Amino acid sequence: MGCFTRIVCLLWGVLLTARANYQNGKNNVPRLKLSYKEMLESNNVITFNGLANSSSYHTFLLDEERSRLYVGAKDHIFSFNLVNIKDFQKIVWPVSYTRRDECKWAGKDILKECANFIKVLKAYNQSHLYACGTGAFHPICTYIEIGHHPEDNIFKLEDSHFENGRGKSPYDPKLLTASLLIDGELYSGTAADFMGRDFAIFRTLGHHHPIRTEQHDSRWLNDPRFISAHLIPESDNPEDDKVYFFFRENAIDGEHSGKATHARIGQICKNDFGGHRSLVNKWTTFLKARLICSVPGPNGIDTHFDELQDVFLMNSKDPKNPIVYGVFTTSSNIFKGSAVCMYSMSDVRRVFLGPYAHRDGPNYQWVPYQGRVPYPRPGTCPSKTFGGFDSTKDLPDDVITFARSHPAMYNPVFPINNRPIMVKTDVNYQFTQIVVDRVDAEDGQYDVMFIGTDVGTVLKVVSIPKETWHDLEEVLLEEMTVFREPTAISAMELSTKQQQLYIGSTAGVAQLALHRCDIYGKACAECCLARDPYCAWDGSSCSRYFPTAKRRTRRQDIRNGDPLTHCSDLQHHDNHHGHSLEERIIYGVENSSTFLECSPKSQQALVYWQFQRRNEERKEEIRADDHIIRTEQGLLLRSLQRKDSGNYLCHAVEHGFMQALLKVTLEVIDTEHLEELLHKDDDGDGSKTKEISNSMTPSQKVWYRDFMQLINHPNLNTMDEFCEQVWKRDRKQRRQRPGHTQGNSNKWKHLQENKKGRNRRTHEFERAPRSV
Amino acid sequence: MALWLWALTLLDLVGSGVGLRSRKLDFFHSETELNHLVVDNVTGGVYLGAVNMLYQLTADLQLVQQVATGPALDNKKCTPPIEKSQCHEAVLTDNVNQLLLLDPLEGRVVECGSLFKGICALRSLSNISTRLFYEDSSGEKSFVASNDESVATVGLVSSTGPGERVLFVGKGNGPQDNGIIVSTRLLDRANGREAFEAYTDHATYKAGYLSANTQQFVAAFEDGQYVFFVFNQQDKLPSQNRTLLARMCKQDPNYYSYLEMDLECQDPGDRQSPPFGTCLAASVDSARVLYAIFSRDASGGGEGTRAGLCLFHWTRSMQDGGQRNACYTGSRESGRNTFYKAFHGEIQCGSHMLGASESFPCGSEHLPYPLGSRDGLKAKAVLQRGGLNLTAVTVTAEDGHTIAFLGTSDGRILKVYLAPDHTSTEYGSILVEINKRIKQDLVLSADLTRLYAMTQDKVFQLPVQECLSYPTCTQCRDSQDPYCGWCVVEGRCTRKAKCPRAKETGHWLWSRDNSCVTITSAQPQNMSRRAQGEVQLTVSPLPTLREDDELLCLFGDSPPHHARVEGDTVICNSPSVIPTTPPGQDHVTVNIQLLLHQGDIFLTSHLYPFYDCRE
């Protein structure tokens, strides 16, 4: 038998069936799943496993210009080389013994709390960073010198100049802080007291008096947890620049029955200097709106994802209108789900220009404010664009009074298309972080999301428009484990320059490339099916796609992932360069059962089996019935009959494309010949075995031995017991075997091991013979 | 004899009663309603805060200065200064005096009105027309008092440390108020801050939005390093009226030290009913006892109204840190039942080291604050009244005796003696102005001789005692006025301080000891007019006498002669001349008088019979 790849164009009926199946459940699993070991062995991840006296590598600052990643951690600040994070410098910035003892006396944990956890790490100017830490429940800040030029190679603490960090860093390392440093002023959403009760959005540093949100007013902030802060221009006039804070908080009293969390976007004007007589040194332009991320349910009851975890702003050509990506989880302890929602800034602005939420008193409902809104409209920045006044200090009394009591908008911000672009509910993990990369592909631009989870994995997802831009399809390209132990990913940065992703957790920092094109396979069809916008088939392999260099032989189809149209002319070519069709011979005894193993490397592919009776050309589709049971790993044939002998063809069907993976030739030995066979066995077991298995892979030998055992032990007369034994040994040997696929290149090794890993975890459900 | 005595007493009572009612009290009349009264303890001057007016009076209520503070264009919603263009709803509004305090050390008066969001002014103590500080354009940082006339503001001028004068303020909040409940305010410009700005950014407690309670403050006072507030609080969930005593360290820029606890005044006269609900007035004495007047029906008057006076010994429980330690070091669960976060809800107790309250007497950022405790102080009312409300209280001590003056809703001042055994006796009352509620500011004059009582528009000065009006020891004794006693060698009813030899035994007979100098027995019991000799009189109580006291015996009309004193007996010689025995009788009764100081001062007397055997 020759080695070849088959591309079979099926009848429409088959295709439709496959498509239907595909949509029924396989698109939500990652196409490729890479374990930590696989990542490590294939050099696809570089890890910094942390220092013994440090932890909590949560605060990231990316400096593409200097090619450094600054990371704030417990008692340390690191400067990693973006090329390879194994190359790093560090600053040790612990707290004094006195401070630590005071913290201990205050009843705090000496290891987990009484240290300097760096919470703020921002670029201050050309030569300095600004850093703040919890300082063992006594926040402190200072400057870090990094030199004017990358080659200066300076990285040191300005230890002569420490500042009070209150209102900049939280006291409690468990609390989140969102901060932004622009023009020498630090905006931070944090808790400004030891107890972690006085939450506010502050502006500190700089020459102006510090400014904050109103205290003790749950309408402004209600036990918030800040996620991030961003400067987004409103117009071409910098006077209109606004700082947006993303946070989650308790729903305002009366807004929701019982306790609930709401995700929020809050705005303040960059040129807000507080009121003159009222709201003195308080924001006068603060407004907030709810961010909705929900899936419609029956009877109009939606499933809400309210626990905002992370936000990423995807900048477009227009700096005023970045796309806001938000990662949300459910508030439920039982129903664990995550979602990604996308928001447009024009929707956000529309809500801030809409009705204010208003309530006449504690016993009233929140209603849209219908009365006269004072001029200038609260929330508008003082600027020439809208005219009228120069500073928030000039705002009329009624504007300030109105602003104080109407900080919330009545309408929420709905996501683009009114629903999440991605939902994950059937898994035992939740999303924690997101970064998005805009990738140019042959057929357009694609946003590739890298989503960090609370179990130390990164999901690489591309959203592909189906018919229109409003109908997006999420393709989960990869699921990669980047930390040895399951640990929540708490920070992520993406370097477009380096094409690398940097990931932080309590345990350490990991670095991985944005793409691993060669992992999809050498063949055009494999590369095409992957639908990875970073990758294209370049004529000889699957490699990084660069839109600038036009090449005739390049093939890519992100939108449809259709190799039929893109790779059919290269069929012949593939035969030479692609992978070979694997063939096996399996022997089965009449009335016993046998298992034909076949699982595709893509987890999104469906398996399609065909049967070709001996000496017949015609192939028929195998349909599952009492006799044939389909499993994830292959086909289980019960109570073999002589007529079952023939060729079994295993195909992977993915995206309407069918690819032959394996051909198994099954020989059924009837019971009459069994005695004869046993006799021969007494004569010379070895020679016979060799003869049968001359073209077999080690794994096929296992199957053969199992078969022989059946013959040697006629007492094992029940199928169940037999199968039980087979599977158990199979499992054991798979664990021991170093590598088992004969004649195939090593590049699949990790993939197959990954499959093994999965088998190990799931076999009890999927393969339990008792359920047969 | 007994009948005669009784008649005399009755006559005396009627007499004094008539005298009191007919006497015209000195008073000062104000055109507008009076709000507050304070007394300068150095000069004795009296300062009055009234609607739209401030008055400076002498101790005798003679007008020295008056100054108008209102009315002015204002609206409670608007931020001062009021410009008609910005505040369309502004109308001419009365300025109710919300806070009137003296700072004698700096020679100034602190005065806050209800106008302009409750901003304040500093005025000269010697001339209130001189305004030392007033700024109406500083905005909300200068809003001190409640701008709602029906919401009380209390305050106290003190120091946080050496030289730094501050104002501690407690107030409730009306619908257009700033929400601040307790705050510490600067009185002088410091560190770029103006007078009346918060002492620090953290030196305020603010009610939350839709706060779960409202406060009506009653009193503020200080003791050592602490400042105290008494206030009523209406909780919404669960709905209940509470009276709270709050304490803070004066030197606490971060407000970590706040501790409040319930004050519960039980009505022993009505065991079935719950404790009194509302505190209407409170006063402290030098012995660190809080005298608080409670009422069942705060709206005042009416048949169902009951009022009582409770005494709380607050120092012990507030100062030994026991309460705070119970929260700091106790279990989280038990803490949840007892402690809460004042003004704001729940607090997390526990997990702190033993002795945390001693190590941090004024709290700390890491210890729970502001701390509230439901395990408060309980007391049984020592005095109750039905059908009227007690509206004011002031307490003073005279010779170690505690005297309380209580104002009533029907215009009287009750004089109450509070015995060490926690019993009380109302020994007198003064009608000030019939059916005019006595205002809360009932103040003693600087020399403690007078009491200033305030009604709607009048201030009265009342003597705290009128001992001299009792001419005899008996009348003096029957007054039961704890101020009064019989000064023996002077033969007058006086305060103890006015009796020169009061310290000597038996020289000043306190009215409430119920004693006058009497001759309890004579030896011999009678004497023959023919066989005369010495009469030994047993005198009780016999004051210690000196030579120059010249105790004389006087038998009837006979010329007096010197008496001899041996122990507690006084020995007199029978007179040479004895009145004739009346016909039909076998004896004649002669009045023996004992006189002091050449017969000027009457000490006591006794009727002594001389018999005649011939009859």
- The alpha carbon of residue B159 is apart from the nearest alpha carbon of chain A, in Å, by 26
| Strand extents, DSSP E, B512-600 | 518-523, 527-528, 534-540, 552-555, 561-562, 564-566, 569-573, 587-596
Q: How confident is the model at residue A226 (pLDDT cuts 50, 70, 90)?
A: very high
Is there a single domain that holds both residue A190 and residue A229? yes
The topology under which CATH files domain B518-611 is: Immunoglobulin-like (2.60.40)
| Alpha carbons A395 and A285: distance in angstroms, whole number | 10
Are B86 and A396 inside 8 Å of each other by CB? yes
Is there a single domain that holds both residue A550 and residue A648? no
Mean pLDDT of A68-72: 97
DSSP secondary structure, A518-552, as one string:
GGG-SSHHHHHHH--TTEEE-SSSEEE--SSS--T
Is there a single domain that holds both residue A275 and residue A354? yes
State the pLDDT at residue B190.
81
Which position has the higher pLDDT, B297 or B219? B219
> Which percentage of chain B shows pLDDT scores above 90?
35
Are B79 and A193 inside 8 Å of each other by CB? no
Chain B residues within 8 A of A218 when measuring between CB atoms:
208-210
Q: Which of A212, A277, A282 to mutate to test the interface with B (most CBs of B within 10 A)?
A: A277
Highest mean pLDDT of the ranges A216-225, A591-600, A708-717: A216-225
Tokens 């209150």 correspond to A166
- The alpha carbon of residue A206 is apart from the nearest alpha carbon of chain B, in Å, by 18
Chain A residues within 8 A of B207 when measuring between CB atoms:
216
Is there a single domain that holds both residue A391 and residue A526? no
- The alpha carbon of residue A207 is apart from the nearest alpha carbon of chain B, in Å, by 15
State the pLDDT at residue A482.
95
pLDDT tens, residue by residue, A83-106: 999 999 999 999 999 999 999 988
State the pLDDT at residue A731.
53
State the pLDDT at residue B24.
62
* Residue A40 domain-assigned (yes or no): no
B2 touches chain A (CB under 8 A): no
Q: How confident is the model at residue A760 (pLDDT cuts 50, 70, 90)?
A: very low
Q: Is pLDDT of A32 > 70?
A: yes
Mean pLDDT of B406-423: 91
Q: Which of B147, B366, B367 to mutate to test the interface with A (most CBs of A within 10 A)?
A: B366
For residue B328, the SS3 value is helix
Mean pLDDT of A491-511: 96
Q: Which residues of A99-109 are buried (b: 16+ CB within 10 A; e: fewer)?
A: bbebbbbbbbe
Q: What is the DSSP letter of A26?
A: I
| CATH value at residue A536 | 3.30.1680.10
Q: Is pLDDT of A738 > 70?
A: no
CB A351 within 8 A of CB A409: yes
Q: Collect all residues from A whose CB is shorter than 8 A from any CB in B.
A: 105-108, 137, 193-195, 215-219, 253, 275-280, 362, 396-398, 400-401
Q: Is pLDDT of B303 > 70?
A: no
- The alpha carbon of residue B334 is apart from the nearest alpha carbon of chain A, in Å, by 19
Of A106, A253, A401, the CB nearest to B210: A253
| Alpha carbons A121 and A73: distance in angstroms, whole number | 10
| CATH value at residue A252 | 2.130.10.10
Of A195, A277, A398, the CB nearest to B140: A277
State the pLDDT at residue A726.
52
| Alpha carbons A29 and A4: distance in angstroms, whole number | 29
CB A171 within 8 A of CB A139: yes
Chain A residues within 8 A of B119 when measuring between CB atoms:
none
Neighbour-count burial of B557, counting CB atoms closer than 10 A to its CB (0-12 exposed, 13-18 middle, 19+ buried): exposed
Q: Quick one: closest CA in A to B209, which residue? A: A217
Q: Is pLDDT of A68 > 90?
A: yes
Are A277 and B137 inside 8 Å of each other by CB? yes
Chain A residues within 8 A of B139 when measuring between CB atoms:
275-278, 280
Of B141, B352, B353, the CB nearest to A280: B141
- The alpha carbon of residue B61 is apart from the nearest alpha carbon of chain A, in Å, by 40
Give B310's contacts (C-beta < 8 A, 6+ positions apart): B263, B265, B266, B276, B291, B292, B293, B294, B379, B380, B381, B382
CB A252 within 8 A of CB A261: no
The least confident of A268-272, A316-320, A711-715 is A711-715
Are A279 and B140 inside 8 Å of each other by CB? yes
| Angle subtended at Cα B545 by Cα B544 and Cα B550, rounded to the nearest 5 degrees | 160
Whether the link from the prior residue into B420 is cis, omega within 30° of 0, is no
| Strand extents, DSSP E, B4-130 | 26-29, 34-39, 46-50, 53-57, 63-68, 72-74, 91-93, 97-103, 108-113, 120-124
Is there a single domain that holds both residue A357 and residue A221? yes
| Alpha carbons A437 and A530: distance in angstroms, whole number | 17
Chain B residues within 8 A of A277 when measuring between CB atoms:
79-80, 137-140
- The alpha carbon of residue B189 is apart from the nearest alpha carbon of chain A, in Å, by 18
Q: Is pLDDT of B483 > 90?
A: yes
Is there a single domain that holds both residue A661 and residue A620? yes
Q: Is pLDDT of A14 > 60?
A: no
Q: Which residues of B402-415 are buried (b: 16+ CB within 10 A; e: fewer)?
A: bbbbbbbbbbbbbb
pLDDT tens, residue by residue, A333-366: 888 899 999 999 999 999 999 999 998 877 788 8
Is there a single domain that holds both residue A362 and residue A404? yes
State the pLDDT at residue A739.
41
* Residue A402 domain-assigned (yes or no): yes
| Alpha carbons A331 and A259: distance in angstroms, whole number | 10
State the pLDDT at residue A678.
66
State the pLDDT at residue B302.
55
How many beta-carbon pairs under 8 angstroms link A with B? Answer: 55
Total domains in the fold of chain A: 3
State the pLDDT at residue B453.
93
- The alpha carbon of residue B296 is apart from the nearest alpha carbon of chain A, in Å, by 28
Give this complex's ipTM: 0.81
State the pLDDT at residue B298.
46
pLDDT tens, residue by residue, A641-681: 888 888 888 888 887 777 788 888 888 887 777 766 666 55
Mean pLDDT of B7-21: 38
Are B138 and A362 inside 8 Å of each other by CB? no
* Residue A125 domain-assigned (yes or no): no
Q: Which of B210, B255, B258, B348 to mutate to test the interface with A (most CBs of A within 10 A)?
A: B210
Which position has the higher pLDDT, A210 or B2? A210
Q: pTM above the 0.90 mark? A: no
Is there a single domain that holds both residue A549 and residue A645? no
Distance (Å) of CA B6 to CA B1, B9, B515, B519, B520 = 9, 5, 16, 19, 19
* Residue A451 domain-assigned (yes or no): no
Is there a single domain that holds both residue A551 and residue A592? no
Q: How confident is the model at residue B574 (pLDDT cuts 50, 70, 90)?
A: confident
Are A194 and B365 inside 8 Å of each other by CB? yes
Which position has the higher pLDDT, A125 or B345? A125
Is there a single domain that holds both residue A264 and residue A399? yes
- The alpha carbon of residue B349 is apart from the nearest alpha carbon of chain A, in Å, by 12
> Which percentage of chain B shows pLDDT scores above 70?
92
Question: What's domain B467-510's architecture?
Answer: 2-Layer Sandwich (3.30)
Q: How confident is the model at residue A26 (pLDDT cuts 50, 70, 90)?
A: low
Which position has the higher pLDDT, B547 or A207? A207
Q: Is pLDDT of A410 > 90?
A: yes
Q: Is pLDDT of B103 > 90?
A: yes
What is the widest separation between alpha-carbon atoms in chain A?
A: 107
B77 touches chain A (CB under 8 A): yes
Is there a single domain that holds both residue A253 and residue A390? yes
CB A118 within 8 A of CB A504: no
B352 touches chain A (CB under 8 A): yes
CB A586 within 8 A of CB A700: yes
Q: What is the DSSP letter of A555?
A: B
Of A108, A137, A216, the CB nearest to B209: A216
Which position has the higher pLDDT, B322 or A114? A114
Q: Which residues span the domain enclosing A665?
A: 582-674
Mean pLDDT of A296-325: 92
> What are the structural domain ranges in chain B?
467-510, 518-611
pLDDT tens, residue by residue, A162-180: 999 999 999 999 998 999 9
> Could you tell me which residues are beta bridge partners of residue A650?
A609, A662
pLDDT tens, residue by residue, B51-96: 999 999 999 999 999 999 989 999 998 888 988 888 888 999 999 9
DSSP secondary structure, A635-702, as one string:
EEE-S--GGG-EEEEEEEEETTEEEEEEEEEEEEEPHHHHHHHHHHHHH-HHHHHHHHTTT--HHHHH
* CA-closest candidate to residue B418, choices B442, B401, B439: B401
State the pLDDT at residue A80.
96
Of A108, A195, A401, the CB nearest to B77: A401
Q: Is pLDDT of A269 > 80?
A: yes
**Paired sense of beta strands B569-573 and B534-540, if any:** antiparallel
Q: Is pLDDT of A191 > 80?
A: yes
Of A105, A219, A398, the CB nearest to B209: A219
Q: Which tokens is B524 given?
A: 């011999």
- The alpha carbon of residue B465 is apart from the nearest alpha carbon of chain A, in Å, by 51
> Which percentage of chain A shows pLDDT scores above 90?
49
* CA-closest candidate to residue A180, choices A266, A268, A121: A121
B137 touches chain A (CB under 8 A): yes
State the pLDDT at residue A357.
95
Of B78, B344, B365, the CB nearest to A193: B365
CB-CB neighbours of B160 under 10 Å: 21
Q: Is pLDDT of A403 > 90?
A: yes
Chain A residues within 8 A of B141 when measuring between CB atoms:
280
pLDDT tens, residue by residue, A670-728: 777 776 666 655 554 444 444 443 444 444 444 444 544 544 444 444 444 554 555 55
Which position has the higher pLDDT, B217 or A609? B217
Chain B residues within 8 A of A210 when measuring between CB atoms:
none
CB B299 within 8 A of CB B412: no
- The alpha carbon of residue A373 is apart from the nearest alpha carbon of chain B, in Å, by 15
Average pLDDT, chain A: 82
Final residue before a domain boundary, out of A398, A418, A438: A418
Is there a single domain that holds both residue A253 and residue A193? yes
Final residue before a domain boundary, out of A657, A674, A691: A674
